[in-house]
Structure 1
């Protein structure tokens, strides 16, 4: 639908209004589809569902009802066109308001969008280089290995007559219970390797977060409350899950500690804002550096996830994995700057 006039009004740096006018002839073309949509849901005496003639529907429902359905169809069709035409970075569904709706007249309406304000990133390559070039303490000491072995031995601990824990002696036989190890020495070396890998992963993750936090600190624009509230909703949802995994209801837990959800939301607000800034920065870096997730890689990951979790929504899985994989590519790009 290209026969539409639009006028953009910048209400604020985070909100825009687009006034739209669809000419009379173009708007009238939606009548047949509007009647078809209405007819699919209607059963009238003497007619099968979905087979009620247009003139009967017009007489039954009246012009105002049909015009409203035509308006809904029109707005559904022009919405993606408007996003493309004006390059709108909408962060939520727009608020629609009908301005003029009458038979034989152009259809006029407005769409008000919450949008991301113009965000300028700091020099993220310099920040990444400064952070990533730092040294990491990933050495594994004999004490680390001993503690790791003790924790593993604890899996086969017994109790003495007084109820005290008794750890089994580390023997070749015990080592073989943890995998195909020939002896204690081979098992110990594997534990050392695992601890080294774990330390390296923690150090890598720490540098990644330090980098993104410094980049986020360089974003000074005020974010729309809608984004921060959305992140707070997700944080509260995860918090509720954690509490329920411990066998408690969130309401009971809050009552025990004499706090409310709103108390937590206030405490978390600064952290939520930083999280939103980090995700925005990741997205903008991906665009600036032309980083993308190959379709075959994404399809493969979605297929694996949906096979493992049959109840997951494929569309949501696709969206989530695309973001996670793209974030990983941004992190890899930043790591290469050191």
Structure 2
């Protein structure tokens, strides 16, 4: 009689702001099979006294592998495929790669892992062009003798006005997880800069008159606005069918990299995709200047 297929069960929970939690329950039978595969991989590089390299029994190899490393390696055999199946089945559009939390990993019992991510936020553009036109008309109203004639705005001032109107009028809810991810990245960059200058975080905060809490709060606002603006401009670029040509990407890479090695790093499929997105958002923003 054929063996019954061992399957992973899952429980899905979503938060109102787009957060997603997937709890996976992995039968121990599957854990055992994948753990043996992981140990076989470890055995190729681990030296065990009395045995040739790669020839030691798996029980001996296991004695030399830290328990945490073995669990992590075993799960790396299981989670990517299991998660991909659930994401496809539930039609989830993850904005970031999930973070995993081990809930349970007892010998002889099913293991449990929680995957935490968030979905790409939905953008409701509404009548953003009308909002821009109304703002433009309001700014251009001038009553001779009463008001000072408004000055011609610079390109930068127009851009800031467009950004302000878009963030104010377009509806998009940013998941907290996405904001935290961006804030943590910015704080890490700041800490690196501070260390390179030979300063301490406390010294830096004192020099700018901020606390860790006020700095994080400021970064949260900035991160939320940055993410929202990127999503809004990406949606506008898609709706307006803005097409960035390969030659434009080539030109951007050439402009950004005087060194051949830098150009090589930028000229990968993933980097070209990111650059194309930046150029599309910039084109979308430039196209809105005509409305002001």
Whole-Å Cα distance in 2 between the matches of residues 257 and 307 of structure 1?
35
Which among 221, 228, 232 is matched to residue 281 of structure 1? 232
What does residue range 1-338 of structure 1 map to in structure 2 within 5 Å? 4-21=8-25, 30-31=34-35, 33-54=37-58, 56-57=60-61, 69-85=73-89, 86-91=91-96, 93-99=98-104, 108-115=112-119, 118-128=122-132, 203-219=154-170, 223-232=174-183, 249=199, 252=203, 254-256=205-207, 258-267=209-218, 269-289=220-240, 291=242, 293-294=244-245, 297-298=248-249, 301-302=252-253, 305-306=256-257, 308=259, 310=261, 314=266, 321-334=275-288
Q: State the distance in 2 between where 1:97 and 1:238 align.
A: 28
Query: What SS does structure 1 have at the residue aligned with 2:124?
Result: coil
Greater shift in the superposed pair: 283-292 or 209-218: 283-292
Structure 1's 203 and 82: CA in aligned 2 closer, same or farther, altered over 3 A?
farther
Q: Quote how far apart the aligned CAs of 1:325 are.
A: 1.7
The TM-score normalised by the length of structure 2 is 0.63
Q: Distance in 1 between matches of 2:200 and 2:62?
A: 53
Alignment deviations for residues 96-118 of structure 1 (CA, whole Å, 9 cap, x no partner): 33456655x76653323244555
CA separation of 1:323 and 1:35: change in aligned 2, threshold 3 A: same
Q: How far apart, in 2, do the equivalents of 1:87 and 1:64 lie?
A: 30
Q: Once the two structures are superposed, what CA deviation does each residue of 1:268-327 show, in whole Å capped at 9, x if it has no partner? A: 654443333212322333444554545564466446645537469657955753442231
Query: For the structure 1 residues 26 and 226, does the alpha-carbon distance in structure 2 shift closer, same or farther, using more than 3 Å as the test?
Result: closer
Note the C-alpha offset of 1:328: 1.7
Unaligned stretches of 5+ in structure 1? 137-199
CA contact (8 A) 1:131 1:211 kept: no
SS in 1 for 2:94: coil
CA distance in 2, matches of 1:40, 1:275: 47
TM-score when normalising by structure 1: 0.56
Runs (5+) with no aligned partner, structure 2: 1-5, 141-151
Deviation sequence 1:159-217 (CA, Å, 0-9, x none): xxxxxxxxxxxxxxxxxxxxxxxxxxxxxxxxxxxxxxxxx9x8334333322221211
Q: How many equivalent pairs are there?
A: 271
**Per the alignment, do residues 265 and 7 of structure 1 end up closer, same or farther by CA in structure 2, a change over 3 Å counting?**
closer
- Tell me which structure has the larger Cα radius of gyration: 1
Deviation at residue 266 of structure 1 after TM alignment: 4.0
Flag the structure with more relative contact order, 1 or 2, with Cα contacts below 8 A and sequence separation at least 6. Answer: 2
Cα 1:35–1:15 shift into 2, 3 Å: same
**Partner secondary structure for residue 110 of structure 1:** strand
For residues 115 and 257 of structure 1, the distance between their equivalents in structure 2, rounded to whole angstroms, comes to: 36
Quick check: 1:291–1:330 contact (8 Å CA) kept in 2? yes
CA contact (8 A) 1:71 1:107 kept: no
